Amino acid sequence: MIRTLTLSCSSVLLTAFSFALQAPHSDEASPEREAWYLVRHRCFLCHNIDQPGAKFAPSLMGLFARENARLINGKPVNDQTVSELIVEGTTNMPAFKYTLNARQIQLILRYLKGDFPNAPKQDGTFAQEPPR
């Protein structure tokens, strides 16, 4: 009985935690804010976003601006190959095919390309003052 109750409580907590980590729905947040949230919660744990140097994985700073850049799998850096890497993962990176949809992956790509100049930086500060 106690074990069943413990497992039930654990399941409820795990479910609640997974809902808490979901990105804000597009009706609730601007694409810029949602992109930052996704990058912060899905990429920042292992990658630096706006700082050079590796954490546990290579920095993503300027990924799309690097001349002749290649991904860890040897493919050139472009929307398709980066999207595929996010979806399928690597030996050291989890696949996000079951946790991110195509729209969310596109928002991450746009963030990494610098399409959101008013989005918060890695440390939560703003490169530019956010619009009011």
Helix (H) or strand (E) holding 89: none
**Which position has the higher pLDDT, 41 or 118?**
41
**Backbone dihedral angles phi then psi of residue 94, each to the nearest 5 degrees:** -70, 150
Give pTM, 2 decimals.
0.73
Cα separation, 72 vs 126, whole angstroms: 30
SS3 126: strand
- Band (73; pLDDT cuts 50, 70, 90): very high
Vertex 112: Cα angle to 16 and 106 (nearest 5)? 65
pLDDT tens for each residue of 42-51? 999 999 888 8
> How far is residue 74 from each of residues 11, 26, 64, 81, 82, measured CA to CA in Å?
40, 34, 15, 10, 11
pLDDT (0 to 100) of residue 129: 59
The answer on pLDDT for 98 being more than 90 is yes
Domains of the chain: 29-113 (1.10.760.10)
pLDDT tens for each residue of 16-27? 344 344 545 545
pLDDT (0 to 100) of residue 19: 39
Q: Which of 17-21, 38-42, 118-122 has the highest mean pLDDT?
A: 38-42
pLDDT (0 to 100) of residue 69: 92
> How far is residue 41 from each of residues 66, 89, 113, 127, measured CA to CA in Å?
24, 16, 18, 19
